[in-house]
């Protein structure tokens, strides 16, 4: 299949080895808003750069973890970070605040005078309730509010007198006390004035941002901020106190739902039942957020006169479009970044928090976010295009971009593919881990214009890409994998950019509609989950004759073969090896790898290491085979994650009858005048 007007090019879509990591041992500050990048992912993604030992640019600065991990791996990194809150977290991870400073700052705040008592006691008394058993006054740990009724309905406390602990319904006195902190008074005015003065056009937006906090929380937080300003702490202790306050600002808003709530809120809308924490208890708990147990790395402000030295973070306090003016022509060859995703809640709260901690001027660069109430994927594609175009003069002709999407979803991948294509980049590689919601994409700069679009051929090309992925995986496949492959084949051929320019607001919708209609064609696909939305369930082939060996069987074989090498394996390294063996759209989900590992492996003497079970060594299996020779019973089969069965451990999995090896799967449909290789 060839689209009219495209030209032959030698580049091909690579099946990238997914840079797997491990969930961090501690989430760290503001974890629910920052990208959930796993430990080790940045280091492995560096191997996808060319050359991998060169310094890299992160133009978006969305992930402090990325910059710190790359620097600790010995790479020089230049990052543009326009959000002062994210910069503070990055600096806190790079230069960990000593635990002693955190505890000292907390103690200085606790002992500060407030209304003839200590500040600690003053804040605890804001949350007083009475024990339902012995009537002793006690400071509640939290309240649960009914948003619609605008009252707290549940209180959590531990009575020091009788020991009663747990949840109770609130009393009339509890509800009356909470109502006394209405959105008025000195603290509320100060909270607003820090972000927008009276008469400022942003005033109404600041009020909307502040509305996500209960009135009592606003009173307590501004009391803390005011007291910090008056204490005159030395710089190190002031930094520690600001860190504690930043975590408390996050803990005290109404975006924490009950019983579970939104794990990663993106809109400034209080949960129907939200948690109001005891602000002082939240301040005490914040010590653990910032107690990083890791060595320091060097962070220097950019621009500077020195080189972009290995193992150092050069930090630019501004957006990428301003960073571009500080770079030499064609200076940048490698970009490794966590692609940002829209989050109105985090950016709006960041403006509010920055104003409270560092003043109105600190919040000014990002205060524009107060005007935007919603972000969609079309807007995001345009924003990515603008940022990349501004970097154009600083990029070398052979510049490469590796983009990590730790919160991947179809709309995000589509927006990234659209925005990069429109900025002059061709997608050259991809890998998707659907169940984990993770992806990695790679682009190369293309100075030639995008090919003319033959709209009639877009749908067949996307359909063919989806078919090819199912054939290669040899089993029912989730929608995100098919969607990524379909958009990838268009992004590889530079077919998306012209659509963004011609139909900016509708380009994503038009292509998604076409793709979903093609998946609904029962002559080509079978939808397990029919009747549900297109993104729900899995897809199989109406004619499965060309399907390859099931992916689950190949994962099983890869795990067994690696364990049979003998030496104890660290679980993360084994997972990375499997991802290298099965790259691109074949990337297996973690739960499948772990199921195979637990089926064939035994834990080693060192924590986190594995070795082959003694009964699964070839010699042991050979003895079992001799003992059972002539047994008429059918071969035992084991079930692995993913829903399918695989042969027993007595022999590696083999191709199922009627299936073909992956090398025999028909090639991916050509688009842009060339054939695409297996993913």
pLDDT at position 509, please? Answer: 87
526, 542 contact by CB (below 8 A):
yes
Residue whose entry in the numeric block shows the structure tokens 């602000």: 279
Q: How confident is the model at residue 541 (pLDDT cuts 50, 70, 90)?
A: very high
Q: How confident is the model at residue 502 (pLDDT cuts 50, 70, 90)?
A: low
Handedness of CA 411, 415, 416, 421 (dihedral sign): positive
pLDDT at position 653, please? Answer: 40
Compute the distance between CA of residue 92 and CA of residue 419 in angstroms, rounded to an integer: 32
The residue ranges of every structural domain in the chain are 99-126+181-289, 551-654
Residue whose entry in the numeric block shows the structure tokens 């940022």: 387
pLDDT of 402 higher than 70:
yes
- The answer to whether the peptide bond before residue 51 is cis (omega within 30 degrees of 0) is yes
332, 399 contact by CB (below 8 A):
yes
Q: How confident is the model at residue 614 (pLDDT cuts 50, 70, 90)?
A: confident
Average pLDDT along the chain = 87
Compute the distance between CA of residue 124 and CA of residue 118 in angstroms, rounded to an integer: 10
Q: How confident is the model at residue 632 (pLDDT cuts 50, 70, 90)?
A: low
Q: What H or E segment, with its residue span, contains residue 360?
A: helix 360-363
592, 554 contact by CB (below 8 A):
no
pLDDT of 204 higher than 60:
yes
Residue whose entry in the numeric block shows the structure tokens 């986190």: 608
Any idea which of 25-34, 427-436, 528-537 has the lowest mean pLDDT?
528-537
403-444 pLDDT, tens digit per residue, is 999 999 999 999 999 999 999 999 999 999 999 999 999 999
Higher per-residue pLDDT: 573 or 566: 573
- DSSP letters, 438-464, are EEEEEEEE--SPPPPP-HHHHHHHHHH
447-458 pLDDT, tens digit per residue, is 777 667 777 788
Compute the distance between CA of residue 10 and CA of residue 85 in angstroms, rounded to an integer: 44
635-677 pLDDT, tens digit per residue, is 444 444 444 444 333 333 433 333 334 433 444 444 433 333 3
130, 117 contact by CB (below 8 A):
no
Question: By three-state DSSP, how is residue 639 classified?
Answer: strand
312, 297 contact by CB (below 8 A):
yes
The Cβ-side half-sphere exposure at 363, using a 13 Å CA radius, reads: 25
pLDDT of 396 higher than 70:
yes
pLDDT of 201 higher than 60:
yes
Compute the distance between CA of residue 347 and CA of residue 327 in angstroms, rounded to an integer: 27
332-372 pLDDT, tens digit per residue, is 999 999 999 989 999 999 999 999 999 999 998 888 888 77
Compute the distance between CA of residue 23 and CA of residue 436 in angstroms, rounded to an integer: 11
Handedness of CA 417, 418, 421, 425 (dihedral sign): negative
pLDDT of 311 higher than 80:
yes
413, 339 contact by CB (below 8 A):
no
Q: Which residues are within 8 A (CB) of 513 and not within 5 positions of it... i.e. 6 or more apart?
A: none
Q: How confident is the model at residue 630 (pLDDT cuts 50, 70, 90)?
A: low
- What is the CA angle 303-306-312, rounded to 5? 85
């Amino acid at each position: 299949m060839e689209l009219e007007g495209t030209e032959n090019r030698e580049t091909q879509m690579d099946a990238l080895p997914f840079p797997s990591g491990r969930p961090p041992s501690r989430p760290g500050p503001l974890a629910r808003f920052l990208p959930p990048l796993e430990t080790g992912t940045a280091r492995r993604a560096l191997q996808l750069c060319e050359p991998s030992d060169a310094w890299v640019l992160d133009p978006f600065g969305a992930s402090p973890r990325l910059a710190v991990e790359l620097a600790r791996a010995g790479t020089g990194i230049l990052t543009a970070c326009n959000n002062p809150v994210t910069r503070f977290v990055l600096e806190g991870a790079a230069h960990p605040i000593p635990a002693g400073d955190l505890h000292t700052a907390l103690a200085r705040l606790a002992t500060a005078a407030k209304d003839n008592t200590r500040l600690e006691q003053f804040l605890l008394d804001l949350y007083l309730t009475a024990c339902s058993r012995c009537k002793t006054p006690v400071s509640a740990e939290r309240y649960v509010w009914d948003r619609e009724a605008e009252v707290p309905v549940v209180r959590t406390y531990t009575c020091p007198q009788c020991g009663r602990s747990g949840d109770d319904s609130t009393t009339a006195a509890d509800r009356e006390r909470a109502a006394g902190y209405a959105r008025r008074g000195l603290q509320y005015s100060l909270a607003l004035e820090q972000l927008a003065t009276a008469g400022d056009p942003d005033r109404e937006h600041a009020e909307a941002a502040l509305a996500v906090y209960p009135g009592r929380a606003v009173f307590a937080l501004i009391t803390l901020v005011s007291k910090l300003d008056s204490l005159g702490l030395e710089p190190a202790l002031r930094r520690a106190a600001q860190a504690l306050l930043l975590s408390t600002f996050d803990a005290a808003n109404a975006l924490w739902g009950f019983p579970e709530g939104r794990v990663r809120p993106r809109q400034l809308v209080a949960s129907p039942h939200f948690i109001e924490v005891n602000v002082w208890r939240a301040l005490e708990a914040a010590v653990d957020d910032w107690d990083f147990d890791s060595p320091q790395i060097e962070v220097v402000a950019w621009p500077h006169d020195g080189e972009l030295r290995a193992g150092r973070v050069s930090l630019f306090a501004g957006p990428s479009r301003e960073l571009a003016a500080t770079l030499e022509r064609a200076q940048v060859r490698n970009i490794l970044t966590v692609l940002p995703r829209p989050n109105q809640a985090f950016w709006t709260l960041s403006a509010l928090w920055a104003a409270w901690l560092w003043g109105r001027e600190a919040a000014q660069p990002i205060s524009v976010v107060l005007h935007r109430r919603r972000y969609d994927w079309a807007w995001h594609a345009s924003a990515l295009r603008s940022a990349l175009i501004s970097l154009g003069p600083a990029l070398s002709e052979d510049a490469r971009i590796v983009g990590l999407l730790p919160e991947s979803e179809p709309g995000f991948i589509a927006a990234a593919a659209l925005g990069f294509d429109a900025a002059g980049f061709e997608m050259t590689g991809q890998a998707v881990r659907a169940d984990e919601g993770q992806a990695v994409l790679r682009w190369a700069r293309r100075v030639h214009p995008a090919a003319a679009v033959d709209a009639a051929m877009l749908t067949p090309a996307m359909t063919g890409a989806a078919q090819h992925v199912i054939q290669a995986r040899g089993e029912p496949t989730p929608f995100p994998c098919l969607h990524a492959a379909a958009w990838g084949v268009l992004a590889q051929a530079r077919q998306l950019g012209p659509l963004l320019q011609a139909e900016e607001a509708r380009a994503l919708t038009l292509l998604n509609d076409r793709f979903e209609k093609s998946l609904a064609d029962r002559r080509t696909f079978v939808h397990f989950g029919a009747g549900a939305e297109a993104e729900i369930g899995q897809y199989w082939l109406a004619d499965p004759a060309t399907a390859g060996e099931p992916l689950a069987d190949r994962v099983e074989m890869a795990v067994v073969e690696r364990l049979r090498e003998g030496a104890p394996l660290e679980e993360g390294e084994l997972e990375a090896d499997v991802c290298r063996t099965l790259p691109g759209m074949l990337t297996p989900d973690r739960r499948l790898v772990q199921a195979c590992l637990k089926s064939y492996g035994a834990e080693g003497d060192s924590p986190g290491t594995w070795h082959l079970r003694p009964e699964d060594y070839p010699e042991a299996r050979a003895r079992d085979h001799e003992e059972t020779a002539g047994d008429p019973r059918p071969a035992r089969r084991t079930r692995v994650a993913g829903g399918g069965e695989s042969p027993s451990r007595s022999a590696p999995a083999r191709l199922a009858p009627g299936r073909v090896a992956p090398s025999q799967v028909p090639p991916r449909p050509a688009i842009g005048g060339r054939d695409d290789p297996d993913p």
